[in-house]
Amino acid sequence: MSAKTRILVPGPIRERVLERLKDRFDVVRIERADPALLARSEAAAISGVAVSGSFNAALIEHLPSLEIIASFGVGYDGVDVSAAASRGIAVTNTPDVLNDEVADTAIGLLLNTLRRFPQAETWLREGRWKREGAFPLTPLTLRGRTVGIYGLGRIGLAIAERLKGFGVGIAYHTRRPRADVPYAYYPSLIEMADAVDTLIAIVPKTAETHRTIDAPVLRALGPNGVLINVGRGWTVDEEALAQALENGVIAAAGLDVFYDEPHVPEALLALPNVALLPHVASASVATRDAMADLVADNLRAWFDTGIALTPVPETPFTRKTGAGPESLR
Ligand code: NAP
Ligand code: 8YV
């Protein structure tokens, strides 16, 4: 039997993660994160997990020797962190390495939404420029706008940095004001929506953020209003959004994320004033490689030094001080 530490990888993950793990660990693959796919004896030998997607309490329960779950992505809403924390199991994510890519995407999506560049390119490609003349002027522009950023964390800050260069007003809403930024702070989302005409959402999926961008918030944003969401679809009441876009309650929206991916509501697909992307904000080879490296480096650091590189705040454990039973360590 091999003496190498065993790492479970359920479901698909970027090949680079596997490449970076194989010399140090025994990697055990299963088709999906389902306890039924791993016999009890095999499950008992698993010490770590690398996962892209969900990892639920039943699977955590099935792995008695589990010490660490290294999750691919900065958002770790797919992992049952409270089940992990209660056993002293560390959870890691991939913060910072994707800030710039996601912020670039947010700006690109904002410009596409306002200035309709994808539609303008289609106009050219379909020969309409030659046949019919210039693409229609866009009613919306970034000029003169004030942008409210819902979530001014690592990525929200990178978005704000970029927006400064565009000469727009910048405001933000978070639960706690930041001492290190000059932007106007709003303690409530609806107050901020009322004060700005452009809302960029980049908050995590938590119980508190569920469908917080709802009909009243959209009404507050107003008829010149534009919503950009690069955080999680969970944060938006999509039915209210489709109605607001159809009825002119707001002017347009740009969405990279959806409530039930990869399903995009027909009501949104049918609307001309929505720019849609298939959750690609971090999806360049370079950035996904950096995320993959951080998944592997967290596992290597944990088993080599006892300290994970980027644990999530709910699991600030080291290998020896984990809150779980000592027998697990
Ligand atoms: P972060 O550094 O933890 O920032 C999160 C921000 O949201 C903080 O400013 C936080 O401030 C605020 N926030 C959290 N809960 C809130 C609430 N209930 N009300 C108001 N503000 C709240 O996270 P990040 O690295 O910037 O990433 C943010 C999220 O973006 C991720 O969790 C992920 O879901 C999403 N994301 C999406 C993509 C994509 O491909 N589209 C890529 C990367 C990330 P307070 O704690 O003061 O409230
Ligand atoms: C990834 C993301 O698309 O990091 C996140 O939270 O949403 C994206 O960067 C996703 O995690 C990859 O599965």
The per-residue pLDDT for range 24-71, each reduced to its tens digit, is 999 999 999 999 999 999 999 999 999 999 999 999 999 999 999 999
**Cβ of 317 below 6 Å from ligand 2:** no
Local confidence band at 85 (pLDDT 50, 70, 90 cut-offs): very high
**Cβ of 74 below 6 Å from ligand 2:** yes
Local confidence band at 323 (pLDDT 50, 70, 90 cut-offs): very low
Whether the per-residue pLDDT at 321 is higher than 70: the answer is no
Gap from CA of 151 to ligand 1 centroid (Å): 5
Gap from CA of 1 to ligand 1 centroid (Å): 43
User: For the residues 77-90, what does the mean pLDDT come to?
Assistant: 98
- Distance, CA of 322 to CA of 329 (rounded, Å): 8
- Residues 95-127: pLDDT tens digits? 999 999 999 999 999 999 999 999 999 999 999
The pLDDT value recorded for residue 320 is 73
CA 280 to chain centre: 10
Whether the per-residue pLDDT at 166 is higher than 50: the answer is yes
Catalytic annotation on 238?
no
Whether the per-residue pLDDT at 329 is higher than 70: the answer is no
- Residues 177-193: pLDDT tens digits? 999 999 999 999 999 99
The pLDDT value recorded for residue 201 is 99
Catalytic annotation on 232?
yes
Closest approach atom of ligand 1 to CA 189: 20
The pLDDT value recorded for residue 2 is 55
Catalytic annotation on 263?
no
Q: Catalytic pick from 121, 161, 208, 261?
A: 261
The pLDDT value recorded for residue 325 is 42
Buried b (16+ CB within 10 A) or exposed e, 67-77: bbbbbbbbbbe
Testing ligand 2's pocket by substitution, the residue of 229, 282, 289 carrying the most ligand atoms inside 8 A of its CB is 282
Whether the per-residue pLDDT at 76 is higher than 70: the answer is yes
Gap from CA of 280 to ligand 2 centroid (Å): 8
Q: Which ligand minimizes its atom distance to the CA of 94?
A: 2
In degrees and rounded to multiples of 5, residue 26 shows phi and psi of: -90, 120
Identify the residue whose C-alpha is closest to ligand 2 atom 12.
73
> Any residues with Cβ below 6 Å from ligand 1, and which?
74-75, 95, 98, 102, 151-156, 173-176, 202-206, 208-209, 230-232, 256-257, 279, 281-282
List, in order of start, the domains of the chain with CATH numbers.
6-96+286-328 (3.40.50.720), 99-276 (3.40.50.720)
User: For the residues 236-262, what does the mean pLDDT come to?
Assistant: 99
pTM: 0.96
**Cβ of 172 below 6 Å from ligand 2:** no
CA-nearest of 254, 248, 250, 246 to 275 is 254
Which residues make Cβ contacts (< 8 Å) with residue 185, sequence separation at least 6? 171, 172, 173, 174, 177, 178
Which letter does DSSP use for residue 73 in this model? S
Concatenated DSSP letters of 1-62: ---SEEEEEES---HHHHHHHTTTEEEEEESSS-GGGS-HHHHHTEEEEEESS-B-HHHHHH
Whether the per-residue pLDDT at 143 is higher than 90: the answer is yes
Q: Catalytic pick from 232, 288, 300, 319?
A: 232
**Cβ of 73 below 6 Å from ligand 2:** yes
E-only strand ranges, the chain = 5-10, 25-30, 46-51, 68-71, 90-92, 146-150, 169-173, 184-185, 198-201, 226-229, 252-255, 274-276
Q: Which ligand minimizes its atom distance to the CA of 291?
A: 2
Whether the per-residue pLDDT at 1 is higher than 60: the answer is no
Testing ligand 2's pocket by substitution, the residue of 74, 104, 230, 288 carrying the most ligand atoms inside 8 A of its CB is 74
The pLDDT value recorded for residue 164 is 98
User: For the residues 285-311, what does the mean pLDDT come to?
Assistant: 98
- Residues 194-230: pLDDT tens digits? 999 999 999 999 999 999 999 999 999 999 999 999 9
The pLDDT value recorded for residue 3 is 78
Mean pLDDT, the chain, integer: 96
User: For the residues 269-287, what does the mean pLDDT come to?
Assistant: 98
